[in-house]
A and B are shown apart, each in its own frame.
Chain A
């Protein structure tokens, strides 16, 4: 194996600029990268100041001043409305182009990466109308408009990475949803009205930010191996926008990330109590039969049943640790559910304790796998997480999942065992476990191949071409291509991370992805972006083919012989060798 193949198996591949290094150096670097959690700051990677071009080369500021003289007041008002919708203008719609309007125009022009003159030519005014005029009919909220001109370098404020902010926003959205539902039920608003009012206050695109920020870090950042493991754990502890408010995604994923140089028991504990997981697997109202809440129900003769909800408890044992092969019983599931009662209380402001309160918590000791868990509620969950993490079946499960993801659909037993042994010896030290995966991939990966999941293929491709990620909500500058956006592309490719179909995550086997339709999508995506690669990115397929397949390889010759640029790209990115590692 050379470092190129290793960088594909343990990262996201390489670009034309890649300098090959000795495999041993690659291994040393990769292992070092896994030792500490790198700071997650994707914004720094793209907030580069670029030289401004004139918006329309032949038209000067003087032309614009001349053109503006012919604009009627009514037209100027319209233009101000567009600027407001676009999120650049905050002042009154008066048809007077004062200082505020000029600043807004400059903002919009610079957003398009063009010279900010502050004056609009007729052509520019038309473009502004084309870009934002359509929105007038929808009355979208400012948040939505901001997204339309989403500049990632300043978007961190709208990506609530603090748990407290995220939960507060979630609660706000919950009450607004209830309010609107009540209005709808009472016949006071129509469904269309409801949608409009909802959009007016909130957008549901928070989870887009996850994909956007993660993709920037993956393609432009310098910790691809760490990020590949992050991808693994995100899918190991999946959540879905179908059940979890998108606001929670940012903090949840970062919480997983934060624990990636810790012990598995700590990762497990933090994933389990996190409101995102609590909501996803509906644990937050699970009620202990002897809890304060249960007593209240009895006393007030409420028509409620004081009982647990075993959803999270079952998956905690089945998917996150032991697996059914461990032979736990319904009583073990119940015991786990008792330990979990009381968590996920997002209405309780006590963040330090992890949104726990004892109102629904089942007091006393709970028996799980023959052991009794007693003491403070938080200690019970901690102790359980430690015991589950130290269980040999958990070690086996994690080693197996890692091998399936990084090595092959049928990983050699020795590979699984090598990771399992390190897990057991280190009591689940994730740095050591991840490093063991690096060793196993180098040792056993030579003779095995792995068909790539769509998301990994997609990022490998963009890494290969040196970027070109579709980052803007509304396409690039003056284009209006809704589909040209990372989330849309990943959806079309069948693998939009935040839409995990079930709590067992996205499938990892070729048989789940290798269908004509999915393969057709990959072909079509290359066609869709090849113009951009050719003209905007100036990607050189011949050069890349030499780097990828080898200078005098038949594959590189095939790429050179391709009659069109698109065909050359297809012969690289849809080549079986590129689709596997």
Chain B
């Protein structure tokens, strides 16, 4: 049983990418901001954005069936805990995509997460990530705020990162001596280059709301990060998933609050910001035997921010009747998630289509753009 300890707040990890201003004073910076939210474990798209008009939904789900979802567009509804996103949707600042995923049907977290991060069709085929490559292609150097750099951000020539610690800092001389020692080492060389000149950061793996507040404040800086990555764990709800209440509902509420706080802190900059969620797969359409859901295929995606053309749920709905489900159990993917992400990086980083195809998605040509982002 996945049991969130009620003594702890929601735990998340923040990663950011920006120009390391000390090392690269002349670096080119995008004006737009991007927040990628990784929902690890596999978001249940049928709970977050339930297809209310699909009669099969209430037949195949009992305990995990979400009651009280509010209508979005006459077909899809939204989970009652996504209040901020619901408002944003109606005011034109948020959109959803449904029955979307990477074209991966193996149902393994680890293969699935590798694919969602690398953007490759095969797990473990490449070691860099699609966001990292997109920044690279656009010529933006980067700095990530993180402990191990997640694969999705890898692929930038200059990768650096930071994360708060209780250990006190070393002196300049101490750093210098260690750097000297690491100079001739191919893996350690340059590791401490930006460390000694940094601000001390107080936030970290801790309350996610604090983390996005920090992210927003950093994104305001002239040479601050332009891309943030927020990881939220816990979506692997195999048991006691809950419905409009319970574990999954609490996670959605957290997510909603996080995005609300992020918008508040971004202020006017929010107009130039896009937020997009990434998850490794959706969950089974059917409820399993432990009032949860198992690993499935397609899910829903959330887009928000001033750059998003909101108030639309983009979907080519495959249906929930047994013959429409993939292998009789999972929501079938009808929109390749890469099509959406291609549109996002095109808008945020001003990349050409062929560059996106070649460098970001390694040969995959997006079928079409769905008009989810405003033309710049």
Which residues from B are CB-within-8-Å of A319?
A: 110
Which residues from A are CB-within-8-Å of B289?
A: 285-287, 289, 305-309, 360
Known: A282-B238, A566-B174, A570-B178. A507 touches B148 (CB 8 A): yes
Known: A576-B182, A576-B185. A519 touches B192 (CB 8 A): yes
Which residues from A are CB-within-8-Å of B233?
A: 242, 501
Q: Determine if B174 and A523 form an interchain contact, defined as CB atoms under 8 angstroms apart.
A: yes
Closest A residue to B187 using CB positions? A514
Which residues from A are CB-within-8-Å of B193?
A: 516
Closest B residue to A309 using CB positions? B290
Q: Mark B265-304, 1 if CB is under 8 A from A, else 0.
A: 0000000000000000000001111111011000000000
A334 CB to closest chain B CB (Å) equals: 10
Q: Determine if A309 and B292 form an interchain contact, defined as CB atoms under 8 angstroms apart.
A: yes
- A242 to B182 alpha-carbon distance, docked (Å): 37
Known: A314-B108, A503-B109, A504-B110. A307 touches B181 (CB 8 A): no
Closest B residue to A185 using CB positions? B245
Closest B residue to A288 using CB positions? B289
B181 CB to closest chain A CB (Å) equals: 6
Closest A residue to B165 using CB positions? A492
Q: Mark B156-188, 1 if CB is under 8 A from A, else 0.
A: 000111110111111001110110011001011
Q: Which of A15-23, A99-107, A262-270, A524-532 is the contact stretch?
A: A524-532
Q: Determine if A284 and B147 form an interchain contact, defined as CB atoms under 8 angstroms apart.
A: no
Q: Determine if A516 and B160 form an interchain contact, defined as CB atoms under 8 angstroms apart.
A: yes
Q: Which of B160, B166, B288 contacts A483 (CB 8 A)?
A: B166
Q: Determine if A194 and B167 form an interchain contact, defined as CB atoms under 8 angstroms apart.
A: no
Q: Determine if B188 and A519 form an interchain contact, defined as CB atoms under 8 angstroms apart.
A: yes
- Is residue A204 contacting chain B, with contact meaning CB distance below 8 A? yes
Q: Determine if A307 and B148 form an interchain contact, defined as CB atoms under 8 angstroms apart.
A: no
- Is residue A510 contacting chain B, with contact meaning CB distance below 8 A? yes
Which residues from B are CB-within-8-Å of A483?
A: 166-167
- Is residue A421 contacting chain B, with contact meaning CB distance below 8 A? no
- Is residue A521 contacting chain B, with contact meaning CB distance below 8 A? yes
Q: Which of A204, A282, A517 contacts B7 (CB 8 A)?
A: A204
Q: Determine if A303 and B62 form an interchain contact, defined as CB atoms under 8 angstroms apart.
A: yes
Chain A, interface residues (CB within 8 Å), range:
35 or more
A366 CB to closest chain B CB (Å) equals: 15
- Is residue A209 contacting chain B, with contact meaning CB distance below 8 A? no
B249 CB to closest chain A CB (Å) equals: 14
- Is residue A310 contacting chain B, with contact meaning CB distance below 8 A? yes
Q: Which of A449-499 contact B (CB under 8 A)?
A: 451, 482-483, 488, 492, 494
- Is residue A55 contacting chain B, with contact meaning CB distance below 8 A? no
Known: A285-B289, A314-B108, A520-B195. A567 touches B238 (CB 8 A): no
Closest A residue to B20 using CB positions? A516
Which residues from A are CB-within-8-Å of B127?
A: 511
Q: Determine if A309 and B239 form an interchain contact, defined as CB atoms under 8 angstroms apart.
A: yes
Which residues from A are CB-within-8-Å of B7?
A: 195, 198, 204
Q: Determine if A518 and B147 form an interchain contact, defined as CB atoms under 8 angstroms apart.
A: yes
Q: Determine if B167 and A521 form an interchain contact, defined as CB atoms under 8 angstroms apart.
A: yes
Q: Determine if A516 and B287 form an interchain contact, defined as CB atoms under 8 angstroms apart.
A: no
- A306 to B327 alpha-carbon distance, docked (Å): 19
Q: Mark A101-120, 1 if CB is under 8 A from B, else 0.
A: 00000000000000000000
- Is residue A59 contacting chain B, with contact meaning CB distance below 8 A? no
Q: Which of A285, A566, A576 contacts B290 (CB 8 A)?
A: A285
For the complex with contacts A279-B1, A515-B144, 20 further pairs of A-B residues with Cβ separation under 8 Å are: A177-B6, A204-B7, A281-B238, A282-B292, A285-B289, A492-B167, A494-B147, A504-B109, A514-B187, A514-B188, A515-B149, A515-B159, A516-B193, A516-B194, A517-B147, A520-B192, A523-B170, A523-B174, A523-B175, A558-B181
Using CB atoms and an 8 Å cutoff, list the residues of chain A in contact with chain B.
177, 181, 194-195, 198, 204, 242-243, 245, 279, 281-282, 284-287, 289, 303-311, 314, 318-319, 324, 330, 333, 360, 451, 482-483, 488, 492, 494, 501-504, 507, 510-521, 523-525, 527-528, 558, 562, 566-567, 570-571, 574-576, 579
A-B contact pairs, 10 of them (CB 8 A): A242-B3, A304-B62, A309-B294, A314-B295, A512-B148, A515-B161, A517-B195, A520-B191, A521-B167, A524-B168
